[in-house]
Amino acid sequence: MVPETFMNSTSEILIVGGGIIGLAIAVDLQLRGAKVTLLVRDIAQAASRAAAGMLAPHAEGIPPGPFLELCLQSRWLYPEWIRKIEDLTGINTGYYPCGILAPVYELDQPVTTEEVNKIWLDSNAVHLYQPGLGKDVVGGWWYPDDGQVDNRQLVTVLQQAAENLGVEIRQGVEVHAIQQKQGKVKSIYTSIGELEAKIYILAAGSWASQLLPLPIHPVKGQMAAVKMPPNQTLARVLFGPQTYLVPRRNGRLIIGATSEKVAWQTGNTPQGLQTLFARATRLYPPLADWEIEEMWWGFRPGTADELPILGRSSCDNLILATGHYRNGILLAPVTASLIADLVINDKVNPILTHFSCDRFNQPSPVTIPPMSLTIIENKPQALLSPQNDRLTIAGKTFHSRLMTGTGKYANLTTMQESISASECQIVTVAVRRVQTNAPGHEGLAEAIDWSKIWMLPNTAGCQTAEEAVRVARLGREMAKLLGQEDNNFIKLEVIPDPKYLLPDPIGTLQAAEQLVKEGFAVLPYINADPLLAKRLEEAGCATVMPLGSPIGSGQGLKNEANIAIIIESSQIPVVVDAGIGTPSEAARAMEMGADALLINSAIAMAANPAMMAQAMAMAAKAGRLAYLAGRMPIKSYASPSSPLTGTIA
């Protein structure tokens, strides 16, 4: 992956994010001869500084499997990794392999004590081993190999190590957008201008989903620290039910942590602290009287399946190292080593397959009705199987190739029934009409289950590029408010002409260029103009959406020849939008090789919208299968269906 010249450090690597993950990778890469620049908006806001620093694969209760394996590998790497960083800087990191005791309040399963790294202590033993435990403690597990590190100190030392090695750390620099073109990152837009590199690494923790559509969300944790009296210092970490106490060697006791899905709500709250202290004092009552030193909070980078996202992305030169959720401090050494191997040696450790971002694009249950497929010799079955046929837009994958809208329905119930019958996964919504609660749009946003449907905000009603850019930004906020934190899609419509509703090509291109810079996945609605489609693709749009005929006209595909050229010359998905009136026209567009369809009026204005939605869904699938199957050649003369040889005279 990395060209030869890279090793002579003529090329550079840009890392976005200066938490423990970005810093650890920077140090590893620089040690292997790379030239690294690291951009960080604010080191103080990093979860890496807010954490408790436990190295706790066992105490965290991670079930056996690849993730536990990854965590154990990292814990095993820790002592040597720490020695390396301390040697580079001469500063102590506060690494402390003190073991973790995990007291329990309930005995819910028979206890076995056979594993060497896991020892069961019954009620007497646990209270003897750790005096002062709460009366509710009825036993506990002792994990001698788990431990802790002073994560704040470690981040400071890592930063020093990186600087000593020559990593250029640019603090206070915010990355606004990642510009992608034809499967590669071309540059990034930052608060200090546009920057280019050969390889980009995204290690932006919880904020990664603001730059790419990744399923990462913040999980807030509130924390506190108290001062241990000199005669009562704890000697090991206590990890109780929903709480933990981490004694540092300097007499500070870290108390953690709440786990709250409250989006980006900052600050400590009375409710959060009350919960925190109640759980902590139940586990270890003596601390109730100890002096509070500090209270803080942080955002864990949570993912949809609570596993990290590591490895390549849909762009060749963009590597992902994020989503470490509750265990980023523990996972720093292994992450740095795996990512450096990937970047420098193009070596994909097999364990990475479990943490690839591709796992979020796996097929969901197929909704296509059973049908028998004839497998044509020499054609791979995978090509013909609807199960393997997916639509990918800006790195996000869908099994349905039919998109619908929300306009023109007689009522919300009909709309809901139609969306469901269409089996679509993408629904476009007019930002302006929803924001202003225009007639027919009251309560519309709430009427759709956005945990199942991907929102495609559109800029309908915008007559100029400037208006469209402004409305697109509102659209992104709207998607976020409705729970789609990582949604950066926008259907771009710039339509100055109210009679034919034809889009303005120049305004559309101008707005598209700006929105791509701002990190949007832009899906522009255009006249079927092949040259414009090419220019939009070059500008970095995620799709092009040529119209079949004017919006809402139901005239069908009036410009097939141009659509065919666009399909032939596009590297990005082509979505035929507007004008389709019947399922046969929908199927026709798909047979031609369109990647998807957007159909609203033909469904909403049918006598029975839900039934028409179902018909359109079937037509989209039939057309797609026909396209994949390959139609028979057209001949000038008849050719009998039955062979003429071997007939009975």
Is residue 620 within 8 Å of residue 587, measured between CB atoms?
A: yes
For strand 402-405 and strand 396-398, is the pairing parallel, antiparallel, or unpaired? Answer: unpaired
Smallest gap from residue 57 Cβ to ligand FAD (A): 9
HSE, CB side, 13 Å, CA atoms: give it for residue 313.
26
Q: Is 321 annotated as a binding residue?
A: no
In the bound state with ligand FAD, the residue whose beta carbon lies nearer, of 268 and 514, is: 268
| For ligand FAD, the closer CB: 43 or 478 | 43
Q: Is 443 annotated as a binding residue?
A: no
The interface partner of residue 21, options being ligand FAD, ligand GLY, none and the CB cut-off 5 to 8 Å by kind, is ligand FAD
Residue 326 sits in the site that holds ligand FAD (CB under 6 A): yes
Distances 439 to 133, 352, 433 between C-alpha atoms, Å = 62, 50, 8
- The answer to the question of residue 162 lying near ligand FAD (CB under 6 A) is no
Residue in the shown chain whose Cβ atom is closest to ligand GLY: 326
Contact 560, 585 (CB under 8 A): no
CB 613 within 8 A of CB 419: yes
Identity of the amino acid at 203: A
Measure the CA–CA gap between 549 and 562, rounded to whole angstroms: 12
Q: Does the footprint of ligand FAD cover residue 40 (CB under 6 A)?
A: yes
Residue 247 lies near ligand FAD (rule: CB under 6 A)? no
Binds ligand FAD by CB under 6 A, chosen from 57, 139, 140, 301: 301
Which residues bind to ligand GLY, rule: CB under 6 A? 52, 54, 221, 256-257, 300, 326
Is 231 within any annotated ligand binding site?
A: no
Helix (H, G, I), strand (E, B) or coil at 306: coil
Q: Is 336 in the site for ligand FAD (CB under 6 A)?
A: no
Residues 50 and 272: their CA atoms lie apart, in Å, by 15
Query: Does residue 322 bind ligand FAD (CB under 6 A)?
Result: yes
Active site residues: 491
Q: Which is nearer to ligand FAD, 48 or 425 (CB)?
A: 48
Cβ proximity to ligand GLY: between 223 and 429 the closer is 223
Sign of CA dihedral 344, 36, 90, 246: negative
Minimum gap (Å) between residue 409 Cβ and ligand GLY: 45
Smallest gap from residue 276 Cβ to ligand GLY (A): 11
Q: With CB under 6 A as the rule, give the number of residues binding ligand FAD.
A: 45
Task: Compute, in degrees rounded to 10, the torsion defined by CA atoms 587, 593, 594, 600.
Answer: 0
Cβ contact 443:451 at 8 Å: no
- Least Cβ distance, residue 219 to ligand GLY (angstroms): 8
| Residue with Cβ nearer ligand FAD (220 or 491) | 220
Of 17 and 556, the one with the shorter C-beta distance to ligand FAD is 17
The C-alpha atoms of residue 307 and residue 322 are separated, in whole angstroms, by 9
Report the site for ligand FAD in 500-529 (rule: CB under 6 A): none
Element (H, E) at 456: strand 454-458
Burial 227-251 (b: 16+ CB within 10 A, else e): ebeeeeebebbbbbeebbbbbbeee
CB atoms within 10 A of CB 596: 25
Work out whether 62 is an interface residue with ligand FAD (CB under 6 A).
no
Q: Which amino acid is at 145?
A: D
Say how many Å lie between the first and final Cα of the chain, rounded: 67
CA distance 101 to 147: 10
List CB contacts of 291: < 8 A, sequence separation 6 or more.
Answer: 226, 227
Determine whether the annotation assigns residue 17 to a binding site.
no
Residue 324 sits in the site that holds ligand FAD (CB under 6 A): yes
Is 440 annotated in some ligand binding site?
Answer: no
Residue 19 binds to ligand FAD (criterion: CB under 6 A): yes
Among 39, 445, 563, 613, binds ligand FAD (CB under 6 A): 39
The residues of the shown chain that bind ligand FAD, judged by CB under 6 A, are 16-22, 39-43, 45-48, 50-54, 174-175, 203-207, 211, 221, 223, 256-257, 298-301, 322, 324-330
- Binding residues for 1-deoxy-D-xylulose 5-phosphate, by number, are 552, 578-579, 600-601
